[in-house]
Structure formats: C-alpha cells, structure tokens
Amino acid sequence: MKVIKVKNYDELSKVAASIIAAQVINNPQSVLGLATGSTPIGAYKNLVCAYNDGLLDFSNVKSINLDEYCGLSGENDQSYRYFMNDNLFNHVNIDKNNTFVPDGTAEDSEAECERYEALCESLGYADLQLLGIGHNGHIGFNEPASAFAAKTHCVKLQESTINANSRLFEKKEDVPTSAFTMGIGTILKAKKILLIGGADKKEIIEKAIYGDVTPEVPASALQLHKDVTVIYVAE
C-alpha cells in the first residue's frame, strides 16, 4: 500500500487528479471506477482543467460508478448519475453511453444488482477505482457489517450515513434510506485502487489501513489488495 500524506484539500485534489490523468494517458481505453461525495469534487475539477488544457482525451474511456440511491432517477439533482454528469461528464469528451451508474429507478432490485455486476465483469472491472470513505469506514455504500459483501447489492443505509448525507438535501426525510452499491469484492477486482480523504477522515483512514481487517471497518478490506494508493490530509 502506498500512503501519501498531503497538507490540504487542494493538494489532495491535485495529486488524486494527476494519478487519474496518468491512468488515462497511459491507457486511453481505461475503465475508470468513479466515486461521488464532496471529497472527489476537487479532483474532478482538476481533471476538467487538464482536459481544457488539451492534456486529456476521454473519448475512449469508460466508467463504472460505485453506487446510486434507490428511488432516484438520473434527472434528480441528488442522484449520483446527476452528480457525475454535473461534476465531470458534461465537461469532458467522454461518451455518456460509456458511463455506467446503477439504475436507482430499477423496480426489481435483485435483477439490477445482477445486471450491474455482470456489466462491471464484462468491462473487466475498473482499471483504476477511486474511493472516498465514510466516517464509519464505508466505501461505496458498503456499511459496517458482519461480513464483506462480494458483489453489487442493495443496502439499507445507516443512520449516521443518512445524517451525513442529509446536508445535501432540503430535509433529512428526503434522503433515500437504501442504495445500490458495488460489493467489497467488486471493488477489490479493480486493478488499482485510489482512496482519498480530507482532514476529517484522517482517523478512520488510519484505522482502515493500519488496524484489523474487519467488515466492521469496510475500508480495511483494502489491505487485501496489492495495488492501493491512499492520499489523505494529515498535518
């Protein structure tokens, strides 16, 4: 595991973007595993700048996102599909037909999980998977549990996650209570993993990377992967 400590969010975003940019330059047909949340926004901004400067070409890139709220369509501005369009896809030359997010409106959730896992498999999983982390150690929406989930599944969100995410909604009641997420197994199939966290995630990141490997801290599973880079703000 490669651990990079940075001084602030600006540096975090620049270093993360440079790793993603290098991936795209080295393999223009990369499958990028992408994440939502506040943490990656700065990295996406840096990627858009690099694209505008003519340094990056996303025309042959494909992407698979970690997760999506159940019940929200891509037009809903709280959906993760909307987030990805708004923060990255609308600003670079990626073909949106090559960008994949679980379908939050799927009625048969089991079928949607199977479809999404099969899709990830058909793409060979991510060449580089970007991850944020929750204060409870979740990655994607893999909440602390008694076992690591192998595949894409539907989860009931923990109260702490609903509270954390309610800052982005008008009222807490509007936050969906369940979500589709890649499993820990799906995430670990990525060829490379990049975990990023701001200053408020220092404690949980250190617990995840130096503590016991346990499904109670889902991100601790990353210790089992052979090519993980962790960048976090630590002063």
**Residues with active-site annotation:** 67, 136, 138, 143
Nearest position to ligand PGA, beta carbon: 37
The one among 104, 134, 176, 183 contacting ligand PGA by CB under 6 A: 134
- Work out whether 133 is an interface residue with ligand PGA (CB under 6 A): yes
CB of 25 to ligand PGA, least distance (A): 25
DSSP SS3 for 91: helix
> Quick one: residue 15, left, alpha or beta (phi over 0 = left, psi -120 to 50 = alpha)?
alpha
Q: Which of residues 24-53 bind ligand PGA (CB under 6 A)?
A: 37-39
Tell how many helices (H) and how many strands (E) occur in the chain. Answer: 7, 10
Contact segment (CB under 6 A) with ligand PGA among 44-52, 103-111, 127-135, 225-233 equals: 127-135
Cβ proximity to ligand PGA: between 21 and 162 the closer is 162
Strand intervals (E) in the chain: 2-6, 31-34, 62-65, 67-69, 99-100, 128-131, 153-156, 178-181, 192-197, 228-233
Which two tokens mark 68? 């999506």
How big is the site for ligand PGA, counted in residues (CB under 6 A)? 6
CB of 29 to ligand PGA, least distance (A): 27
Task: For residue 23, give the nearest of 60, 49, 76 by alpha carbon.
Answer: 60
| List of residues contacting ligand PGA (CB under 6 A) | 37-39, 132-134
